[in-house]
């Protein structure tokens, strides 16, 4: 019998993941990670979310634990998120949470306590050591899992990966799970809907006004906070009416945002840093996915440079570019502000 620690967020996917493991005859213990000091009664790490996970565990007849990783989450996810914005980058905190907490800290503690594997509700699949997209293309979450290597994958289970979201909800309803109709969470868990990024960043770093200039260097507007601007942004750039303009670069040192027309956003390639691989490093033809909800496009990887078959919308520095061949995740890296053209 395999001992599996099921990470239960209080959502329907992780609820069904735990239920499937129980059906398969594994010894299952549920755990909810408290990662953030949430003062409200809604959203990630709230009392309501923990209670939902606990109620599902009760229906399944399994033990439920709550582990607090607040300090680690702040150091490994929130602080780097803030620092990235201060440096003109657009980070992806969900990927860093997976890297450091859900498949880092959690896996280490699970091993220490004698568990054979950790399961989550991610829509992805592992087949013969390969990380594959989830069966539901609209809910596939393999993009945020590219940081997992073979050591992690050997100890990970993604029970709902072969299912569509409709099938997950139907299964939850058939089992009488209280999360069957619960809406999916969408936002960054530590950014509140009331204050948004601005409130979070302002509570930790000073926000600086900046000049908005066009590609010729002429000032065309001003922004209240450079730290809130991301490449590709169109609204809130203070350029007034007229032709649509988009942020194509952010330079906190110079205190400027460069804007251009839609065509100026197109780039033929992007340079990556912090490359990591699910299996062995690859080069040559790949498909590159530049955001969680973008389509993968044909590209060629040479060293750390991804050259697109056709120009693509510029990748915001700090965002991950994930490399695929078909449904298989090969690896990925983080777009740099240098050599992005």
On whether the CB atoms of residues 21 and 28 are closer than 8 A, the answer is yes
On whether the CB atoms of residues 91 and 320 are closer than 8 A, the answer is no
CATH architecture type of domain 207-260? Roll (2.30)
* 45 is known as an active-site residue: no
- Model pLDDT, residue 43: 52
- Model pLDDT, residue 36: 84
Tokens of 258: 């460069």
Q: Specify the domain boundaries for CATH 2.30.30.280 within the chain.
A: 207-260
Tell me which H or E stretch contains 14.
Answer: helix 12-23
Per-residue pLDDT of the chain (341 residues; tens, 9 = 90+): 799 999 999 999 999 999 999 999 999 999 999 998 765 544 565 678 899 999 999 999 999 999 999 999 999 999 999 999 999 999 999 999 999 999 999 999 999 999 999 999 999 999 999 999 999 999 999 999 999 999 999 999 999 999 999 999 999 999 999 999 998 876 788 887 778 899 999 999 999 999 999 999 999 999 999 999 999 999 889 887 778 899 999 999 999 999 999 999 999 999 999 999 999 999 999 999 999 999 999 999 999 999 999 999 999 999 999 999 999 999 999 999 853 33
Q: Domain 3-174 adopts which CATH fold?
A: Rossmann fold (3.40.50)
Catalytic residue among 44, 45, 94, 97: 97
Total-model pTM: 0.93
The candidate with the shortest Cα–Cα distance to 270, out of 231, 244, 219, 213, is 231
Q: Specify the domain boundaries for CATH 3.40.50.620 within the chain.
A: 3-174
- DSSP assignment string, 211-230: EEE-TTS-EEEEES-GGG--
- Model pLDDT, residue 131: 98
Q: Specify the domain boundaries for CATH 2.40.30.10 within the chain.
A: 264-335
* 44 is known as an active-site residue: no
**CATH code at 264-335:** 2.40.30.10
Catalytic residue among 45, 94, 156, 189: 189
């Amino acid at each position: 019998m395999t001992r599996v620690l099921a990470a239960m967020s209080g959502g329907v996917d992780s609820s069904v993941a735990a239920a499937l493991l129980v059906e398969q005859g594994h010894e299952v213990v549920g755990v909810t990670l408290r990662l953030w000091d949430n003062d409200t009664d809604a959203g990630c790490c709230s009392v309501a979310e923990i209670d939902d996970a606990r109620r599902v565990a009760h229906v399944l007849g399994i033990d439920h634990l709550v582990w607090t990783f607040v300090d680690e989450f702040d150091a490994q996810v929130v602080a780097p998120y803030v620092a990235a914005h201060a440096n003109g980058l657009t980070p992806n905190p969900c990927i860093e949470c997976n890297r450091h907490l859900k498949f880092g800290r959690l896996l280490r503690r699970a091993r220490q306590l004698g568990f054979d594997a950790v399961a989550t509700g991610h829509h992805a699949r592992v087949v013969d050591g390969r990380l594959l997209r989830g069966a539901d293309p609209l809910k596939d979450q393999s993009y945020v899992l590219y940081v997992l290597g073979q050591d992690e994958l050997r100890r990970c289970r993604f029970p709902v990966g072969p299912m569509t979201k409709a099938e997950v909800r139907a299964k939850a309803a058939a089992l009488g799970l209280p999360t069957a109709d619960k809406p999916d969470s969408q936002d960054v868990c530590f950014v509140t809907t009331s204050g948004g990024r601005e409130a979070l960043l302002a509570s930790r770093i000073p926000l600086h006004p900046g000049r908005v200039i066009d590609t010729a260097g002429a000032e065309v507007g001003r922004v209240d906070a450079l730290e809130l601007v991301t490449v590709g942004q169109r609204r809130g750039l203070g350029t007034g009416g007229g032709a649509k303009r988009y942020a194509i670069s952010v330079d906190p040192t110079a205190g400027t945002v460069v804007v251009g027309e839609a065509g100026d956003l197109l780039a033929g390639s992007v340079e990556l840093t912090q490359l990591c691989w699910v299996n062995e490093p690859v080069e040559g033809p790949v498909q590159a996915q530049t955001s969680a909800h973008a389509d993968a496009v044909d590209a060629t990887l040479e060293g750390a440079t991804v050259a697109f078959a056709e120009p693509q919308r510029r990748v915001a520095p700090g965002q991950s570019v994930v490399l695929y061949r078909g449904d298989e995740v090969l690896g990925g890296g983080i777009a740099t502000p240098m050599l992005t053209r």
